[in-house]
Amino acid sequence: MPAAFVLKRLALAVPTLVGVAVIVFVLLRVVPGDPIAMMIPPGATEADIANLRRVYGLDSSILQQFLQWAGQILQGEFGTSISMRRDVLDLILGRLPATLELAVAAILLAVALGTGLALLGTWGQGGPLEVLVDGFTGLTLAIPDFLWGLIFILLLGVAWPILPISGRIDPRLGVEFATGFYLAESLLRGEWRIFGGIVAHLVLPAVALALPLVAAVARLLKASLQAVLQEDYIAMARARGMGRWRIILREGLQNAAIPTVTLGGVQFTFLIGGTVLIERIFSYPGIGNMAIGAVIQRDLPLIQGLVLTFALIFIVVNLAVDMSYAALNPRLRR
């Protein structure tokens, strides 16, 4: 991929980030009227309030306030959480690996399952297998992922309890980790029992999170595969005596992947947003669960830091999708 293309995309991400920062600033600092009123502990005196006002620079103009705020953010100063009395950045960085592991697991699962279903549906085109695949994707899309998560809890956590439904790791194991990436760390250290336990905790939230994307990938990839298989060069391959699976995999998949990657990118951002709720449902200790807690506690500095973190993730994901799209489709690189 040419460096100019990468640089151009990176440059385009900057105004988006500034836009998000302005929106967050306006929504959380200007709209509520008096942010100090939301920050003061009960029993604060007039002098305390005036002091806080000066500390947060609220006696200067809005533009000055924004620049000062943005400057602090750029230096990684997100302030102190009101409810947990700890540095916001530390709190977020402590929870972020859990969310990243969950999201990556869900994405891998969605691509694998979605591609598998699309291939099955294409292979069994016009037969009962395709009806089955269509029925599955239809049902998956009709019921929102919020309900899927809860259905999984009832079926696989309670009625037939084969998988854990809360948290990230069995607390009784009492393992210490050097990083927040429990899954990767236990794998690298070769501690299979712990790794297995973490995977078991990850299965249900990851599947619930992945389902909408599985359905979307399966549907679109199947449609594009079936369209590609109508092309002349497929008939040529068939005439040369290539087998059905070989045609689908070798000739079809590569050409059908481009629209799926574009859609996958859009859906991936939905998936990141979905972690908020899925983490809550499965008591999973990531930044999404933390965001809901922060809103309930009205912990303004923490909300602000989390929203900016999510925005940064979305921008990075979109960038990555743009680039993989360009890598797949050489016509777009110019």
Partner 1 sequence: MTGAVAAPAGGERPRTGALAAALRNPRVWFGGLVGLALLLAAVFAPLLAPHDPLQQDLMLGQLPPFWVPGAEPGYPLGTDSLGRDLASRLIYGARVAVIVAVVAALAAAVLGTVLGLLAGFFGGWVDALVSRLVDIWMAFPAVLLAIVLVAVIGTGLEAVIVAIAVIDWTRFCRVIRAETLVQKEQDYVLAARTLGLARLRTLYSEVLPNVMPLLLTLLTLEMGIAIIVEAILSFVGLSISSDEPTWGGLIAEGRQYVHDAWWIMSFPILCLIVVVLGLNALGDGLRRVLDPVMRR
Give the residues lining the site for partner 1 (CB under 8 A): 16, 19, 24, 27-28, 31-32, 142-144, 146-147, 150-151, 153-154, 157-159, 165, 269-270, 272-274, 276-277, 280-281, 291-292, 294-296, 298, 300, 303, 307, 310, 314
* CB proximity list for 239: less than 8 A, separation 6 or greater: none
* Min CB(30)–partner 1 separation in Å: 10
* CB proximity list for 182: less than 8 A, separation 6 or greater: 97, 98, 101, 168, 169, 198
* Min CB(217)–partner 1 separation in Å: 18
Torsion sign over Cα 176, 182, 188, 193? positive
d(CA 210, CA 206): 6
- What amino acid occupies position 184? A
* Min CB(65)–partner 1 separation in Å: 17
* Min CB(102)–partner 1 separation in Å: 15
10 Å CB burial of residue 157 (0-12, 13-18, 19+) is middle
Of 76 and 144, the one with the shorter C-beta distance to partner 1 is 144
* Min CB(66)–partner 1 separation in Å: 17
Of 21 and 294, the one with the shorter C-beta distance to partner 1 is 294
Of 184 and 200, the one with the shorter C-beta distance to partner 1 is 200
d(CA 76, CA 16): 19
Of 99 and 115, the one with the shorter C-beta distance to partner 1 is 99
Of 26 and 67, the one with the shorter C-beta distance to partner 1 is 26
Of 225 and 300, the one with the shorter C-beta distance to partner 1 is 300
* Min CB(310)–partner 1 separation in Å: 6
* CB proximity list for 233: less than 8 A, separation 6 or greater: 251
Find the farthest-apart pair of alpha carbons in the chain and give their distance in angstroms, rounded.
87
The three-state secondary structure class of 86 is coil
* Min CB(86)–partner 1 separation in Å: 20
Of 144 and 167, the one with the shorter C-beta distance to partner 1 is 144
d(CA 253, CA 243): 15
